[in-house]
Chain A
Amino acid sequence: MTLAAPTRSASRVWRGISSFGGAATPHLLAALGLILFFTGWEIAARLNPSLSALIPMPSQIPRAWLDEISGGYWLAAVRNSLSHYLIGVAIGSILGVAFGLVCGVLPWFESLLAGLVRLLRPIPGLAWVPFAILWFGLSSTAAAFVIAIAVFWINFYAAFGAVQAIDRDLMEVARAFGHGGFFGRLFKIALPAATPGILAGVRTGLGQAWMSVVAAELFGVPGIGARMMQAASLLATDLVVVYMLTMALLYAITDILFVAVRRRLTAWQS
């Protein structure tokens, strides 16, 4: 009895909050969470001046951001990283999807590659950094290469799995209507049927690729990662945070674009 009372009143308060503002409430709460987070951070940083070398204060960030932009560094870093990102994601996704689809459609090809896949797949993209630098130097190509490898595996497995999950009877439909050949099965059945699964893989790849961007650039290829390393070595922690937020922003933009594209490509799903 004693336990039930506060629970009930808490749920009444909750209902009060959620009825207030209707559908907008989750967004309001999300904004509130952010505000609480940054306020708490600001207060904690101000109360402990000794920490100022380790953590910037949120109030310093806008200033640092503006300086970085007016110095021309920000745009250059973003442009460099975006080009690594887009090239790496494009190459990794296209190759990953292509190999995944063909493996799904041609069992003998899948068997042929099975051993190689077992061997290479556990090697993380970042393990290729030494070779990337050896082959391509500290260049954009090296960064794109490392990103492409990480993205490749995600897309390969997503596409392959999606083809495996296709209703086998649809392949029979393809044969019955004269599309039973390799290209018919690939383009008329496997690719469209696997599109939702492929897109899920592409989306994961879009997110994971930012990780590789930073990692590849930490080794010195110019871009956001490299700029963050410079800033950290100068104890410019506010700049590090500026670039962290920059990445969050870029990811949000790519994800919004992605969702818009996906909506068009999978309009047929109920």
Chain B
Amino acid sequence: MAIIAELLGVGLSYGSGADRVRILENCDLHLERGEFVAILGPSGAGKSTLLRVLMDLVKPSAGDVRVEIPEHRGRRRMALVFQDAKLLPWRKVSANAAFGLEGLGLSRREISTRVEAALDLVGLSAQIDRWPHQLSGGQRQRVGLARALAVEPELLLMDEPFGALDAITRADLQDELLTLWSRTQKTILFVTHDIDEAIYLADRVVVLAGSPARVQGCFATPPRPHLRSDPRTWRLVSEIRAKLQEDGELVDFEI
């Protein structure tokens, strides 16, 4: 299979001099086209930072980042769903979803078609004319997802997108995401601190922990479909827990 993105020995520190904090050290990660990979790690480990590096929002202090997606008008077809949605409060839902389509030379009609399709996909067609402050937290998160989907990314990075949702909505959205993924064959890198979620969604679970954070291990999940009650996943859960605890890092993981 073809590699779509790769981190090679990536290290990153914030600050300088005495305030310098090392966040990531010697991180290797490769993503193959069409794969669904989850990154699992405790809060503050550096998961969001890792996505920032992939997205070229911060430059690593060591190592290499390779993304095999051609540039078009200075942009790559990859998108990030931010941890707290990070919508632009002065734009209505539709304009928020259109954000990544502006400046590409698309016609107004084309943009609104794609925006409507993306909002339809996340089930927010009825809220198209609302302001972000008129939405619930879960709806905002879905607009963030629609904004990313609208650019039709080959690689979709998602930063704890369902972290703030209730269990029912979360389960629904997980299933919708899986449907979307199997239909479009996008590559998805999904950050979470929920072991169950990681196993349920992903082909592979990459554990990121420690300080500075390293890739502690990589676990393949059983063949799909993943059932929430599959006994094989229980074993995997305890293996991953053990890996996290090895590091003395695990504080309160949701099971």
Q: Chain A: residues with CB nearer than 8 A to chain B?
A: 169-170, 172-173, 175-179, 184, 188-189, 192-193, 195, 267-270
User: B132 to chain A: closest CB distance in Å?
Assistant: 8
**Distance in angstroms between the alpha carbons of A170 and B103 in the assembled complex:** 18
Q: 1/0 per position for B72-103, CB-CB distance to A under 8 A?
A: 01110001101000101111100000011011
List residues of chain A with CB within 8 A of the CB of B151. 177
Known: A169-B86, A195-B90. A177 touches B57 (CB 8 A): no
> In this complex, what residue of A is CB-closest to B87?
A173
Q: Is B131 part of the binding interface, using a Cβ–Cβ cutoff of 8 Å?
A: yes
Q: Does B133 contact A (CB under 8 A)?
A: yes
Q: How far is it, in angstroms, between the C-alpha of A178 and the C-alpha of B90 when the chains are bound?
A: 18
Chain A residue nearest in CB terms to B151 = A177
Question: Is B147 engaged at the interface, CB distance under 8 Å to the other chain?
Answer: yes
Are A268 and B91 interface neighbours, CB within 8 A?
A: yes
Residues of B within 8 A of A188 (CB): 88, 99, 102
Contact in complex: B74, A173 (CB < 8 Å): no
User: Which one of B73, B90, B103, B133 contacts A193 once the chains associate, using CB atoms below 8 Å?
Assistant: B90
- Using known A-B contacts A175-B57, A176-B57, determine if residue A270 contacts B75 with beta carbons closer than 8 Å: no
A177 to B149, CA, bound (A): 11
- Contact flag A178-B100 (CB < 8 Å), given A268-B91, A270-B133: yes
Q: Nearest chain B CB to A191's CB is how many angstroms away?
A: 10
Q: Are A170 and B86 closer than 8 Å at their CB atoms?
A: yes
Range for the number of chain B residues in contact with chain A: 20 to 34
Would B88 and A189 count as touching, CB distance under 8 A? yes
13 additional A-B pairs beyond A170-B88, A172-B57, beta carbons within 8 Å, are A169-B82, A173-B86, A176-B57, A176-B79, A178-B103, A179-B99, A179-B103, A188-B99, A192-B90, A192-B91, A193-B89, A193-B90, A268-B131
A175: which B residues are within 8 A, CB to CB? 56-57
**Known contacts A176-B55, A179-B102, A184-B103: A269-B75 contact under CB 8 Å:** no
Q: Which of B52, B89, B147 makes the CB contact (< 8 A) with A269?
A: B89
Q: Write the nearest CB–CB distance from A220 to chain B, whole angstroms.
A: 45
Bound Cα distance from A14 to B92, whole angstroms: 45
- Which chain A residues border B133 with CB–CB below 8 Å? 268-270
The main secondary structure of chain B at its interface with chain A is loop
Q: Which 7 A-B pairs have the closest CB atoms?
A: A177-B100, A270-B133, A178-B75, A192-B90, A268-B90, A176-B80, A268-B131
Indicate whether A177 sits within 8 Å of B89 (C-beta atoms), given known contacts A172-B57, A270-B133.
no
Residue numbers in B under 8 Å from A176 (CB-CB)? 55, 57, 79-80, 82
Q: How far is the CB of B110 from chain A (nearest CB, A)?
A: 16
Please give, as numbers and ranges, the residues of chain A lying within 8 Å of B89 by CB-CB distance. Answer: 193, 268-269
Q: What distance in Å separates the Cβ of B70 from its nearest Cβ neighbour in chain A?
A: 14
A-side contacts of B102, CB under 8 Å: 179, 188
In the complex, what distance in Å separates the CA atom of A270 from the CA atom of B134? 8
A175 to B100, CA, bound (A): 10
Q: How far is the CA of A59 from the CA of B217 in the complex (A)?
A: 90
* Shortest beta-carbon distance from A257 to chain B in Å: 22
> In the assembly, what is the distance between CA of A16 and CA of B171, in Å?
57
Contact B74 A177 (CB under 8 A): no
Q: A173 to B103, Cβ gap below 8 A?
A: no
**A267: B residues at CB distance < 8 A:** 131
Q: Report how far A179 CA is from B100 CA in the complex, Å.
A: 8
Q: How far is the CA of A4 from the CA of B90 in the complex (A)?
A: 52
Q: CA–CA, A268 to B52, complex, Å?
A: 29
User: Does the CB pair A177–B91 fall under 8 Å?
Assistant: no
| Nearest CB in chain B: distance from A170 CB, A | 7
Task: Output the nearest chain A residue to B104 by Cβ-Cβ distance.
Answer: A178
9 A-B Cβ contacts within 8 A?
A172-B57, A173-B82, A176-B57, A178-B74, A188-B88, A192-B88, A268-B90, A268-B133, A270-B133
Among A172, A178, A188, A193, residue most surrounded by chain B Cβ atoms (within 10 Å): A178
Cβ-defined partner of A177 (8 Å) among B56, B79, B92: B79
> How far is A153 from B75 in the complex, measured between Cα atoms in Å?
38
Residue from A173, A176, A269 whose CB has the most chain B CB atoms within 10 Å: A176
> A79 to chain B: closest CB distance in Å?
37
For B52, list chain A residues within 8 Å (CB): 172
Q: B191-216: which have CB < 8 Å to A?
A: none
- Bound-state CA distance A116–B188 (Å) is 50
Q: How far, in whole Å, are A143 and B52 apart by their CA atoms in the complex?
A: 52
By beta carbon, the residue of chain A nearest B74 is A178
